[in-house]
Amino acid sequence: MAERRILEVAIKNWCFTLNNYTEAEYKDIRDYECGYLIVGEERGAEQGTPHLQGYIQLSKKMRLSTLKKKFNARAHYQIAKGSARDNYVYCTKEGRFFEKGVMQINGKAKIDLVSACKDIAEEMTNEDCLEKHGSGFVFHKRKIAEMAADLKADAIKMRRMAKCGELVLRPWQCEVLQKLEDQNDRQILFVMDPVGGNGKTTLACYMMTTMDAIRFCILLKNYANERNPNESDPDSKAKVDYIVERYLDA
């Protein structure tokens, strides 16, 4: 009854054993197009019979009769039990094996997370990443995005470190750093520059890179009106946006 059930049912995941295999048979097995394949080269414990112990995940479900015609006619087949990882361990236990394809784990594709994270960090589109890494990218997208963000942050910090190594601070920037070093943790130092372009942002990046400083941006609107509430000059009532940057040691 069990054998009849195996013959009638269409299955994607199969285990197989092929005794006294030939090199031609082994080559055909390795060349067979499928989703995933792991084949261990083994010898029997009692008589030393050479055999292949394999686990295959087909691209689509297949009955045993069809599998024998398309894959290998001599092999003994069983419906795979246990997890894909269990079958991998079993087929590789003697150390000599052949593997190809992408293992599906509980219906989810195993994915090279490191490669996917680097691709996203290097601005590869989601569409291109999905095409390259398959369905595993969908299942691990959040984890990949988080790891990619960390990689990008590290890359930015490394670039900043390189620039900081070449940076020659201006006298006023050195003075700011000294003031921050001398003041207590309840004091705040504001640096205002009515002209701009004198190195405030450069100093901020330097502090963020070398001192692990944290940046807070505060947007002040209608600053001119708040400063001169009784001023009748229309120019003073124009909306002016100021960004006050506050830097603290982390």
Catalytically active residues, by annotation: 90
What span, in angstroms and rounded, lies between the C-alpha atoms of 219 and 123? 30
Where residue 222 falls (left for φ over 0; alpha for ψ -120 to 50; beta otherwise) is left
DSSP letter assigned to residue 102: -
Q: Is the Cβ–Cβ distance between 16 and 77 less than 8 Å?
A: yes
CA atoms 98, 101, 107, 111: torsion sign = positive
- Report strand pairing: 213-220 vs 36-43: unpaired
Count the neighbouring beta carbons within 10 Å of the beta carbon of residue 42.
18
- Helix residue ranges per DSSP H, the chain: 2-8, 23-31, 64-70, 84-91, 113-121, 126-133, 136-139, 141-166, 171-182, 200-210, 223-227
**Residue from 108, 121, 116 nearest 150 by CA:** 121
Q: Is the Cβ–Cβ distance between 69 and 125 less than 8 Å?
A: no
DSSP letter assigned to residue 247: E
